[in-house]
């Protein structure tokens, strides 16, 4: 370095010093990375390893149970406390652990049934408890029925403040018909206005349950939770299955994972299954290799094995949830067994069109709907096309809340902006004429889209869907609620007092009458105290008509609807008035008409913009002014013939929202 200039030596010295610092920092960084990696691996191993061995739990020490209740009676809170007490999750500020969807947390409702495996030590014995948290709203009745198929008992949860509600009654009979053990539990006894004794009387009078069998708890405060776990172990029977028999696994739920494919929820009836086994589906005969087997603790944790009586999940390289058919049976390859009896598929009750806000967004909407329906098997989907809204889909839902939740999940999870048309139900018609029957393929047609209703001349019979509804209300509101039921074409079947203050009313409704505003009117009349539940009751013959709407003689297919004869004129007037108030004025008159069988039953006119063509005629002959006005009228008449009336999308949405 002696031959170098001063500035060269200084540059080399600085470079040498930076090299030392870099080497030291690199070594520290390597140590940090190594420590981080080792910590991550240990955490991953800790996460992937169960703190117990499933082989240690014979069927005698397994209990499979579910929690069923009305909306907001505390199912998810009770599930949180059970998970905490059994050590499945650490104690702390846990809130709706099993409600994993954003829409569930926002609305405070359970949409998708979730399972969790718990370990509880009772009388010096450890028990494996498989808990299934179910939805409480009537629209998700299908989720409850699927969950109960994997259970041997249920916790019937009732709010100490609100008492027995309509969905409580429906869930009780659902469990009773399945011959499941029922543990009645009164929750929220810590509330100021709680009346546990009054609610206990209601449970006794309605369900004939002994009061001494009713447990009283506060899930939020953790009061009485130990007694609930003890009752689950003592009262609910163990699964009557055998490990030594050939494998027989029952699929009661499935969902789609974007990275791992289809995940099937299984209840093992007989035998056992392990990772690497080849199992066959009874319905389609396809064989799959198990790539992962485990339990929910409370999230997916691989266990390698699942034994008779246990509930868990399995991944087997399925790419379509249709292959994991709900109610299907799986068995080991080349060792066939008798398939277990399945249960009914979900029957859509409400149908609506779904279209993108802009047609350029249709591919995005299609992808979002396809992905979401993989995790919601109860949605029925068909391609639809609208002259005003373009290409879209017609979807079938279990109810209005189900439709609303589906739309919200599209926006939250896939950022899809869609337009949902007015909901309608599926009608059935019988037609005559060999040519017509050959064209439609049958003499009985199910009409999902009102635009596709055949002409009245070939229809011999109309049938509409009916529901058996249960309304529970304070006795002081009984008269007004009875009148509300009659106004919606309901037939009162029975009325009975639950206790001195509450009445149970059983009504038969046309489904179309309770779709739109019945529930809101019921809550308004009863100051929020009445509850409502319904079940499918088949079809009945009815007097229906197809109601069309036209703008200047041109039919607007999106507004076509089917309604009862007694509702036709009232509905036509209401829609025509909304069209008049929402469609912007044009340079010509727009005539809005509601028609039944080409007969006009309602009409509104949207006035044209009118320019004063005589404003610049200062005096002069009156014939000059009349000539100018006549020319203007002729021009507007010509405009009306060739003018195209377009309904703005925002106005169209207002009409559809009633």
Please give the angle made by the CA atoms of 90, 257 and 289, to the nearest 5 degrees.
105
Residue 360 token pair: 């350029």
* Cβ partners under 8 Å of residue 248, min gap 6: 268, 269, 270, 271, 329, 330, 331, 337, 340
Instruction: Please report the DSSP string for 399-433 in residue order.
Output: SHHHHHHHHHHHHHHH---EEEPPPB--EEEEE--
Say if residue 205 carries a ligand binding annotation.
no
Nearest of 635, 519, 653 to residue 167 by alpha carbon: 519
Say if residue 69 carries a ligand binding annotation.
yes
Q: How far is CA 381 from the centre of its chain?
A: 14
* Cβ partners under 8 Å of residue 97, min gap 6: 76, 79, 80, 83, 89, 298
Say if residue 71 carries a ligand binding annotation.
yes
Query: Which residue has tokens 């060999």?
Result: 434
Say if residue 72 carries a ligand binding annotation.
yes
Say if residue 75 carries a ligand binding annotation.
yes
Say if residue 298 carries a ligand binding annotation.
no
Say if residue 346 carries a ligand binding annotation.
no
Q: Using alpha carbons, list the distances in angstroms from residue 101 to 89, 108, 111, 114.
A: 19, 11, 8, 11
Q: What is the three-class DSSP state of 300?
A: strand
* Cβ partners under 8 Å of residue 471, min gap 6: 166, 481, 485, 504, 505, 506, 507, 522, 530, 531, 532
Query: Which residue has tokens 């002259």?
Result: 387
* Cβ partners under 8 Å of residue 3, min gap 6: none
Say if residue 188 carries a ligand binding annotation.
yes
Question: In whole angstroms, what is the distance from residue 40 CA to residue 47 CA?
Answer: 10
Q: Are 356 and 365 in contact (CB under 8 A)?
A: yes
Question: In whole angstroms, what is the distance from residue 482 CA to residue 473 CA?
Answer: 10
Question: In whole angstroms, what is the distance from residue 18 CA to residue 15 CA?
Answer: 5
Say if residue 134 carries a ligand binding annotation.
yes
* Helix locations, 53-165, DSSP H: 75-85, 102-107, 141-148
Q: Are 218 and 188 in contact (CB under 8 A)?
A: yes
Q: What is the three-class DSSP state of 329?
A: strand
Query: Which residue has tokens 């912007």?
Result: 584
- Residue 452 gets which letter from DSSP? G
Beta bridge partners, 391, equal 385
Residue 280 token pair: 């066959």
Say if residue 79 carries a ligand binding annotation.
no
Say if residue 190 carries a ligand binding annotation.
yes
Beta bridge partners, 545, equal 563
Q: Are 319 and 303 in contact (CB under 8 A)?
A: no
Residue 125 token pair: 């014995």
Q: What is the three-class DSSP state of 192?
A: coil
Say if residue 139 carries a ligand binding annotation.
no
Q: Are 140 and 398 in contact (CB under 8 A)?
A: yes
**Cα-only R_g, the chain:** 33
Say if residue 189 carries a ligand binding annotation.
yes
Helices (H) and strands (E) in the chain, counts: 16, 31
Annotated binding-site ranges = 69-76, 133-137, 187-190
Annotated binding-site ranges for GTP = 69-76, 133-137, 187-190
């Amino acid at each position: 370095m002696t031959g170098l200039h001063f500035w060269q030596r200084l540059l080399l010295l600085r470079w040498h010093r930076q090299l030392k610092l870099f080497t030291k920092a690199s070594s520290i960084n390597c140590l940090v990375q190594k420590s981080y990696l080792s910590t991550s691996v240990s955490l991953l191993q800790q996460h992937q390893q169960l703190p117990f061995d499933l082989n240690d739990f014979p069927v005698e020490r397994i209990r499979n149970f579910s929690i069923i209740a009305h909306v907001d009676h505390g199912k998810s809170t009770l599930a949180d406390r059970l998970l905490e007490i059994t050590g499945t999750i650490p104690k702390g500020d846990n809130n709706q652990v099993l409600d994993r969807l954003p829409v569930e947390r926002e609305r405070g409702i359970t949409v998708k049934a979730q399972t969790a495996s718990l370990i509880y030590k009772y009388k010096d014995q450890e028990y494996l408890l498989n808990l299934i948290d179910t939805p409480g709203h009537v629209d998700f009745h299908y989720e409850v029925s699927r969950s109960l198929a994997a259970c041997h008992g249920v916790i019937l949860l009732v709010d100490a403040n609100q008492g027995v509600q309509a969905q409580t009654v429906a869930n009780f009979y659902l469990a009773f018909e399945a011959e499941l053990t029922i543990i009645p539990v009164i929750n929220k006894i810590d509330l100021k206005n709680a009346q546990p004794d009054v609610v206990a009387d209601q449970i006794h009078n309605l369900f004939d349950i002994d009061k001494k069998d009713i447990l009283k708890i506060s899930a939020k405060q953790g009061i009485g939770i130990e007694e609930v776990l003890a009752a689950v172990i003592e009262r609910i029977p163990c699964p009557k299955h055998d490990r030594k028999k050939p494998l027989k696994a029952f699929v009661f739920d499935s969902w789609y994972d974007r990275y791992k494919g289809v995940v099937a929820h299984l209840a093992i009836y007989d035998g056992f299954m392990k990772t690497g086994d080849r199992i066959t589906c009874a319905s389609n005969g396809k064989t799959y290799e198990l790539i992962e087997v485990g339990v929910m603790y409370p999230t997916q944790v691989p266990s390698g094995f699942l034994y008779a009586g246990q509930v868990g999940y399995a991944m087997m390289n399925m790419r379509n949830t249709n292959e994991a058919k709900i109610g299907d049976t799986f068995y080991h390859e080349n060792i066939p067994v008798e398939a277990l009896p399945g249960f009914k598929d979900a029957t859509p009750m409400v149908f609506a069109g779904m279209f993108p806000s802009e047609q350029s967004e249709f591919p995005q909407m299609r992808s979002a709907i396809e992905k979401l329906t993989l995790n919601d098997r109860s949605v029925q989907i068909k391609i639809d096309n609208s002259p005003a809204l373009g290409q879209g889909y017609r979807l079938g839902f279990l109810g209005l809340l189900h439709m609303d939740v589906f739309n919200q999940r599209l926006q939250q999870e896939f950022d899809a902006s869609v337009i949902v048309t007015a909901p309608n139900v599926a009608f059935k018609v019988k037609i005559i004429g060999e040519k017509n029957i050959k064209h439609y393929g049958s003499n009985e047609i199910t009409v999902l889209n009102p635009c596709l209703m055949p002409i009245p001349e070939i229809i011999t019979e109309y049938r509409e869907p009916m529901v058996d509804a249960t309304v529970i209300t304070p006795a002081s509101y009984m008269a007004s609620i009875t009148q509300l039921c009659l106004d919606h074409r309901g037939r009162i079947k029975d009325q009975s007092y639950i206790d001195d203050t509450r009445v149970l009313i059983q009504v038969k409704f046309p489904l179309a009458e309770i779709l739109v505003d019945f529930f809101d009117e019921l809550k308004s009349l009863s100051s929020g105290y009445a509850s409502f539940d319904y079940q499918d009751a088949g079809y009945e013959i009815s007097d229906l008509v197809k109601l069309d709407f036209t703008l200047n003689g041109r039919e607007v297919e999106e507004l076509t609807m089917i309604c009862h004869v007694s509702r036709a004129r009232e509905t036509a007037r209401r829609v025509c008035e909304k069209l008049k108030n929402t469609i912007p004025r044009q340079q010509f008159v727009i005539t809005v008409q509601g028609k039944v069988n080409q007969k006009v039953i309602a009409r509104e006119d949207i006035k044209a913009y009118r320019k004063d063509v005589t404003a610049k005629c200062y005096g002069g002959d009156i014939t000059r002014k009349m000539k100018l006005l006549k020319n203007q009228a002729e021009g507007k008449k010509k405009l009306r013939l060739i003018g195209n009336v377009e309904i703005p999308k925002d106005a169209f949405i207002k009409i559809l929202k009633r």
